[in-house]
Structure formats: C-alpha cells, structure tokens
C-alpha cells in the first residue's frame, strides 16, 4: 500500500492553507529556561537560537506553578512511590491514591459533592456532553465557545442545537421561548472565560434566564461551563467565573494544565452525575488517566492556590494585567477591558497581526497571533497572557518594544 496519492492530496491542501496565510507554521522548540534575575522574569531558550533568550507572553501558566519547588517535589515523591505512569485505565487497576486524593480536594475546593479526572479538559468535554445528550435534548451554545465544545456537540449528534451570538442573552432567552414543547431537556453550554478574548460569561444572568424558563422543559435546563481559563486566574480566591458572578454551574469543567501548571482535566458536580459519567463517558472509561505523579503535583498546586501564597499570586497577575492594558491603551492599541490575565490586542488584520508577531520575535518576545479561522474575520488579534512569573520590568520592556511598531 502506498501513500503517494494521499500525500499529493495533502500537499495541495497544505499549500492552500499556507496561501491563505492561516498556517500555524513550524513549532518553536523550547530547550531550557534561564532563571529570573535583575528584576526580570524567567526567559526561555529555543532550538536554533543558542545566543538568545525569550520573554514568553503566550503561555497559559497563569500562576507560574509548573516550576514551583513544592509542586516539583510532590511530583517527584509520587513518581518514586507509584512510578511514572498508571499502566491501565481507571477501572482496570489504573486508579491510584493520588487520583482519589486530588478528586476529593477538587470537590472540596469547588464546594461540590464529587469530582472526576480526565486526561485533559478537552477529553472531559468530549466525554461529558455526548453522555448527557439524547434525542430529546436541545443544546444551546455561545458562538465563541471553545473548539472542544463545538466538537463535543458534533460528536453527540444532537437532533436539536442552537447557537446564540457571543454573550447575547436576549437571543439565548428567545431560543428557550421558541423551543418550548420541542425538547424535554436543555443544556446551555458555555466557556466561563473565553480563551481568545479573556471576557467571561455572566453566569448569574444566564442562571436567571434558566430559572425563568425551566418549568417549560420536563427534564429541566442544565448549565455546563468550561472554565479552564478561569480557575486559578480569576476571582479573589481563583475560583473563576463562578466566583466573580456569584453563581454556580450544574456541571463545571476545568483544566489542571493552565493555572495549576500540570496536566489533565476534571469535572465537578453532584455525586449522581459523577457516578453516571464514570459509567458512560468514553474518554474516561477507555483512556488512561493522568499519571499518579501528575495527580500529586496537581494536588500540591491546588493547595498553593487555596492559600495566602495563592492569593498573593492572583493579586500580582491582576496588577500586571491592569498595567499591561493601561499601557496598550496609552500606545493607541485596541484591547478589551477586564481583569483576566488574557489581554488581547485587537489588530483586525491578518497581515498586520503577522507583522507584529515577527516584530516581537525580533526583540526576543514570544507572542501568538490569532487569525481566521481560529477567530472570525475582522477579529484577528495578538493574545497576550500574563503569568505570575512576569515582573513589572517585563511589562515595561514589552510595552517599549510595542512602541517601536508602526501600526
């Protein structure tokens, strides 16, 4: 069997992607880190650039915990005790004590009855929505929801779905009114913090709409929220979108791989919901869990977040995010208001976005440009992400580099 014909077709498709200017291109390979010094945060080393160090402004590591000594020590201790990998899926002797300890702590942190680990938050969403959707379910989704939500809905093959414009709650309510009598159950699914913009869903207002119309549906209206960018980055205690909206999702999904600095995803909900998902979620049943060392490290990171030290880290990233947004505005760049450490620069042009990414790279700064089809046409942007490892001098340096860019 030969791949020659397929290779030819794929080369044509790759060329088309490149011609449109939407190719992500060759990945940059991090080979090491330079520790923080002289008022500057850590720098990364890249393959093929041995004489340069780079300020990373495009990482999800909001609290900088992946290099925290306590987190590293916890992972090392768990590896020495349990080995490096689980060796099986959860129901075939793949459940270790660190998994149970972490699940219990996550449930406690979120004030829920139960928690359940997945290999990733993406895998969690892919496994959860299809397990909850049947032919009598209407799924309602925000237009800017993450790709994992979009694909989970596709995988569920729901007979009824509706998408409302980003944060357009009047349209959300209209959908609920128009579908009265057409479905038994409704699932409203949304990001907590939207990954491309750093804004968040008004869960309190969504819940008010839900309560207003819930009696119209025999099986009720559920809210499913993916707050992977909110947990550990938003709210005075890092409990994310639920905290700042004083509201609560029926089913909350999040990640261990961003603010907590490790790997994996999880869901928290009622005991019955979690017990049901353990029996029905394919990406949980048939996939290995995170490793015991990762679970140990994540537990240590969660304990740091839920401490005075964690609150200090949260205050630091809020201060830096405010400084960055203020500086961008003073330089004449368009950004979005908020306190989340995702700080977008709205460029709204593919060529200019690419030019700014290159300008930053030439000045030893790593940023990410988001172009169509990752974002809609006219919404092209540079997504900046603040970390607790950054310093005020880092932000000053970045703003100085931006001031030299002709936009």
Provide mean pLDDT across the span 268-278: 98
pLDDT at 17: 85
Tell me whether strands 221-226 and 160-164 are parallel, antiparallel or unpaired: unpaired
CA distance 403 to 348: 18
DSSP-assigned beta bridge partners for residue 33: 44
CA distance 121 to 186: 22
Summarised one tens digit per residue, pLDDT across range 312-329 is: 999 999 999 999 999 999
pLDDT at 236: 95
Work out the number of other CB atoms within 10 angstroms of the CB of residue 52.
12
Burial label for 166, CB within 10 Å (0-12, 13-18, 19+), is: middle
The sign one gets for the Cα dihedral 124, 127, 132, 135 is positive
Selection from 255, 301, 265, 275 nearest residue 72 by Cα: 301
Contact 384, 327 (CB under 8 A): no
Q: What is the 3-state secondary structure (H, E, C) of the chain?
A: CCCHHHHHHHHHHHHHHHHCCCCCCCCCCEEEEECCECCECCEEEECCEEEEEEEECCCCCCCCHHHCHHHHHHHHHHHHHHCCCCCCCHHHHHCCHHHHHHHHHHHHHCCCCEEEEECCHHHHHHHHHHHHCCCCEEEEEECCCCHHHHHHHHHHCCCEEEEECCCCHHHHHHHHHHCCCCCCEEEEEEECECCCCCCECCHHHHHHHHHHHHHHCCCCEEEEEECCCCECCCCCCCEHHHHHHCCCCCEEEEECCCCCCCCCEEEEECHHHHHHHHHHCHHHHCCCCCCHHHHHHHHHHHHHHCCHHHHHHHHHHHHHHHHHHHHHHHCCCCCCCCCCCEEEEECCCHHHHHHHHHHHHHCCEECEEECCCCCCCCCCEEEEECCCCCCHHHHHHHHHHHHCCCC
Domains 29-58+308-404 and 69-306 agree in fold: no
CA distance 86 to 73: 19
pLDDT at 169: 98
Q: What is the pTM of this model?
A: 0.95
CATH architecture of 69-306: 3-Layer(aba) Sandwich (3.40)
Where are the chain's structural domains? 29-58+308-404, 69-306
pLDDT at 1: 56
> How far apart, in Å, are the Cα atoms of 286 and each of 118, 130, 149, 386?
11, 15, 20, 36
Summarised one tens digit per residue, pLDDT across range 37-80 is: 999 999 999 999 999 999 999 999 999 999 999 999 999 999 99
List active site positions: 195, 229, 258
Summarised one tens digit per residue, pLDDT across range 86-140 is: 999 999 999 999 999 999 999 999 999 999 999 999 999 999 999 999 999 999 9
Length of the chain: 407
Judged against a pLDDT cut of 60, whether residue 160 lies above it is answered with: yes
**CATH number for region 29-58+308-404:** 3.90.1150.10
């Amino acid at each position: 069997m030969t791949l020659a014909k397929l290779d030819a077709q794929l080369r044509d498709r790759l060329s088309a992607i490149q011609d449109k200017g939407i190719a992500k291109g060759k990945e940059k390979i991090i080979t090491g880190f330079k520790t923080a010094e002289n008022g500057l945060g850590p720098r990364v080393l890249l393959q093929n650039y041995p004489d340069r160090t780079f300020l990373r402004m495009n990482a999800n590591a909001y609290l900088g915990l992946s290099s925290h000594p306590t987190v590293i020590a916890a992972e090392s201790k768990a590896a020495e005790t349990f080995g490096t990998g689980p060796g099986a899926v959860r129901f075939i002797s793949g459940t270790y004590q660190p998994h149970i300890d972490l699940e219990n702590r996550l449930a406690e942190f979120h004030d829920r009855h139960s928690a359940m680990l997945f290999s990733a938050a993406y895998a969690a969403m892919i496994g959860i929505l299809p397990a909850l959707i049947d032919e009598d379910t209407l799924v309602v989704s925000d237009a800017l929801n993450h790709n994992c939500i979009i694909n989970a809905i596709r995988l569920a093959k729901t007979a009824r779905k509706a998408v409302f414009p980003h944060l357009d709650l009047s349209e959300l309510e209209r959908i609920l009114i128009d579908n009265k009598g057409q479905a038994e159950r409704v699932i409203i699914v949304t990001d907590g913090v939207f990954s491309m913009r750093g804004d968040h869903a008004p869960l309190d207002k969504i819940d008010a709409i839900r309560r207003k119309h819930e009696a119209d549906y025999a099986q009720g209206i559920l809210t499913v929220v993916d707050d992977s960018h909110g947990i550990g980055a938003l709210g005075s205690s890092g409990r994310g979108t639920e905290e700042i909206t004083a509201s609560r999702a029926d089913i909350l999904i999040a990640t261990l791989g961003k603010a907590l600095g490790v790997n994996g995803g999880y869901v928290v909900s009622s005991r019955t919901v979690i017990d049901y998902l353990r029996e029905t979620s394919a990406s949980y049943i048939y996939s290995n869990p995170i490793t015991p060392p990762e679970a140990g490290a994540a537990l240590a990171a969660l304990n740091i977040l839920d401490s005075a030290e964690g609150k200090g880290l949260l205050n630091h990233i809020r201060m830096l995010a405010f400084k960055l947004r203020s500086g961008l505005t003073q330089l004449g760049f368009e950004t979005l208001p908020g306190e989340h450490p995702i700080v977008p620069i709205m460029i709204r042009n593919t060529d200019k976005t690419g030019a700014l990414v290159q300008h930053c790279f030439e000045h030893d700064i790593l940023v990410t440009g988001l172009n169509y089809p990752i974002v809609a046409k006219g919404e092209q942007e540079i997504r900046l992400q603040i970390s607790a490892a950054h310093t005020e001098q880092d932000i000053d340096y970045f703003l100085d580099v931006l001031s030299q860019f002709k936009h």
